Copies of this chain bind each other. A is one copy, B any other.
């Protein structure tokens, strides 16, 4: 596969991403992607075999980029609390955008695709996030910002709240206020007064 093909491959994934953002996962057909990319039916099949394959690749790209974005926005002299708040604000922004996210598509995808936990990207991301938050809290506890008996437990709990907020945003709908209240609740439980 030449350089050009790689470009086109990437173009397809980026275009497909928009389609998934707009329609979720299940409703998207190969035809939808073909039309969005303005290529021929057969052309798409040269690169990908199914919407599942395309979606998996889109997710890979997504997670690579996501890491970068987050690391980039951490200031040099940020405190643990700063970083935690930044992380939660990031989540908030994403879940409130709602109609500009892959979230729904990701959920739909995993509803029907749960290949043994081994290559479940979502699980990896979740576990990785828990680990990062745990480290963060530990650091915060060390320098007296946070108070916390069970850092691992708290980290996990925070992530389940985040997940709860995310799915709620997609189903029952939530407001910025609701998210803020949860953020405050979390910080308070860490002994941070605002």
**Footprint of B on A, CB under 8 Å?**
24, 26-27, 104, 106-108, 110-112, 114, 117, 120, 122-123, 126, 150, 153-154, 156-157, 159-168, 170-173, 178, 181-182, 184-185, 189
Contacts and interface: CB of A to CB of B under 8 A. Distances in A.
Contacts of A114: 171, 173
Contact of A172 (B26, B112, B120): B120
B122 A111 contact: no
B110 A153 contact: no
Contacts of A182: 156-157, 160
A121 B49 CA distance: 38
Count identical subunits in the complex: 4
A102 to B, nearest CB: 12
B163 A168 contact: yes
A171 B163 CA distance: 11
Contact of A171 (B111, B164, B181, B185): B111
A173 B112 contact: no
A42 to B, nearest CB: 12
Contacts of A184: 153
User: Which of A111, A114, A173, A189 gathers the greatest number of chain B CB atoms within 10 Å?
Assistant: A111
Contacts of A166: 167
Contacts of A173: 114, 117, 120, 123
Contacts of A24: 111-112
A24 B113 CA distance: 12
User: Which of A106, A107, A171, A185 gathers the greatest number of chain B CB atoms within 10 Å?
Assistant: A171
8 contacts: A27-B112, A107-B107, A114-B173, A120-B172, A123-B171, A154-B185, A164-B165, A189-B189
